[in-house]
Amino acid sequence: MQAAVSPLLPPAYREPVLGDLQERFRERGARARWLGYVVDVVTTVPHVLRSQMRRVVTRGSAVPGDLRSRAEKLQTLVWIRNAVILFSALIVIGVFLLNARGVWHFNESVSLAMTIGWVGAAWRQYALRGRSTVVPTSLSWQELRAFHRRELTRQMDLGCCEFVYWSVPAVLLILYALAVAVPGFRVRAGVMLLGALAMQNCAVAWAHRKDRSRYQRELDRLDQEVEQA
Amino acid sequence: MPRSDSLGQFEQLVLTSVVTLGDNAYGVTIHKKVHELASSKAVTLGAIYVALDRLEDKGFVSSWLSEPTAARGGRAKRCYRLEVPGERALKESLATARRMAVSVTPIWGDPDKEFG
């Protein structure tokens, strides 16, 4: 249950909120434990998300000076980015399911190929490799700095390789379907689809480039702080 | 935009709980205390977090993470402490409530007899 709830919570809240939920779970009688836990989750998670969103909006991009706050802020932004991307993956799946009703046509094959590509890449990239982590408590300044640096580097290394890898089977499937399954194969349609995939990869690469420069500034700031210290 | 220093009723309850709990003020204990103080209302744990975040943003309380404990599955507590602006705002609210009580008691009688 906790494993299911944990990714729903922003990293800054994850540890104290899960701890509070567990404490309340233990305090209840055996009969009401699970139901109480579910009720607690349902009434707590939306409030926490709302509060986190409000904080992000009202504080804007200003990063607090304290190192721990900066590390938590980074994890929160990573968590929000991942939530948005994974939500978009759900929309892509929904669109595919809407298209897939009725008789299977060529369009459905293309939709399936692109859905697999997008969902697979988004899952590998954001849910596994670039997932957010909780900033550990009780770290010395040096350890916290090392943790923050490691996390910044991890996010910088994401790139758009996953999207390129996952696009390849989609491209092959589309070309195969065009060449074999469609009578009167038209090159123009294939080029348009490949162009759409290329644009998607370019958009991901641009977003990563923007993030990379932000992470690099934070790394430079960390180095400056060490020099000053 | 000017920052609002006035307190809503729920914020008053949360701040009062933080004051009375002292060093043991964190999510679960604050929720219990608020539930006890607001006897007629159902209060969720989520509402407590929202109020605490808002109070922290206003500078009325500050928070820190305690050491992890086994009872919480090895997780830390986020503990809260009242800050000077929070103390001032709560005292102002109490003074206002007291003046209101003095004004209306001769007309309505003692509200404690009805709701206490």
Over the stretch A141-178, which tens digit does the pLDDT of each residue have? 888 899 999 999 999 888 777 777 777 777 777 676 66
Q: How many structural domains is chain B composed of?
A: 1
In chain A, count of helices (H) and strands (E)?
8, 0
Which pLDDT score is estimated for A148? Answer: 92
Is there a contact between A22 and B72 if contact means CB atoms under 8 Å apart? yes
> Average pLDDT in the A72-93 region?
87
Q: Which two tokens stand for residue A171?
A: 């491209």
Is there a contact between B76 and A16 if contact means CB atoms under 8 Å apart? yes
Chain B CB contacts of A58 under 8 Å are: 57
Is there a contact between A13 and B72 if contact means CB atoms under 8 Å apart? no
Give the global pTM.
Answer: 0.72
Is there a contact between A16 and B78 if contact means CB atoms under 8 Å apart? yes
Is there a contact between B47 and A46 if contact means CB atoms under 8 Å apart? no
State yes or no: pLDDT of B2 exceeds 50: no
Most confident of A53-57, A118-122, B30-34: B30-34
Chain A CB contacts of B66 under 8 Å are: 137
State yes or no: pLDDT of B66 exceeds 60: yes
> Average pLDDT in the B98-111 region?
86
Is there a contact between B77 and A19 if contact means CB atoms under 8 Å apart? yes
- CA angle at A39 for the pair B28 and B26, rounded to the nearest 5°: 10
CATH code, domain carrying B85: 1.10.10.10
Q: What does the CA dihedral B42, B45, B51, B53 come to, rounded to 10 degrees?
A: -170
Angle between helices A33-59 and B45-58 (to 10 degrees): 20
Question: Please, which pLDDT band fits residue B61 given cuts at 50, 70 and 90?
Answer: very high
> Average pLDDT in the B92-110 region?
88
Is there a contact between B65 and A16 if contact means CB atoms under 8 Å apart? yes
What sign does the CA torsion over A83, A34, B28, B46 have? Answer: positive
B78 touches chain A (CB under 8 A): yes
Domain enclosing residue B78, as ranges: 9-115
Of A15, A88, A192, A86, the closest CA to residue B63 belongs to: A15
Does residue B3 form part of some domain? no
Q: CA Rg, chain B, in Å?
A: 16
* Whole-angstrom distance, CA of residue A21 vs CA of residue A37: 7
Does residue B53 form part of some domain? yes
**Strand, helix or coil for residue B26:** strand
Comparing alpha-carbon positions, the chain A residue that sits nearest to B49 is: A48
Chosen for mutation from B75, B77, B78 (greatest number of chain A CBs closer than 10 Å) is B75
Is residue A133 within 8 A of residue A152, CB to CB? The reply is no
Interface predicted TM-score (ipTM) of this complex, two decimals = 0.85
Does residue B2 form part of some domain? no
Is residue A120 within 8 A of residue A169, CB to CB? The reply is no
Q: Looking at this protein, which amino acid is placed at residue A89?
A: A
Does residue B87 form part of some domain? yes
Does residue B75 form part of some domain? yes
- CA angle at B105 for the pair B104 and B106, rounded to the nearest 5°: 95
Does residue B64 form part of some domain? yes
How far is CA A186 from its chain centroid? 37
DSSP state letters, A53-122:
HHHHHHHTTPPPSSHHHHHHHHHHHHHHHHHHHHHHHHHHHHHHHHHTSSS--HHHHHHHHHHHHHHHHH
Domain locations along chain A: 1-60, 68-228
Name the residue among B47, B67, B77 with its Cβ closest to that of A16: B77
Query: Which residue in the block uniquely carries the two structure tokens 């605490």?
Result: B52
Q: A82 to chain B, minimum CA–CA distance in Å?
A: 23
Q: Looking at this protein, which amino acid is placed at residue A148?
A: H
Chain A CB contacts of B50 under 8 Å are: 47-48, 50-51
Is there a contact between A16 and B75 if contact means CB atoms under 8 Å apart? yes
pLDDT in tens, A177-198: 666 666 666 666 667 777 777 7
Q: A149 to chain B, minimum CA–CA distance in Å?
A: 21
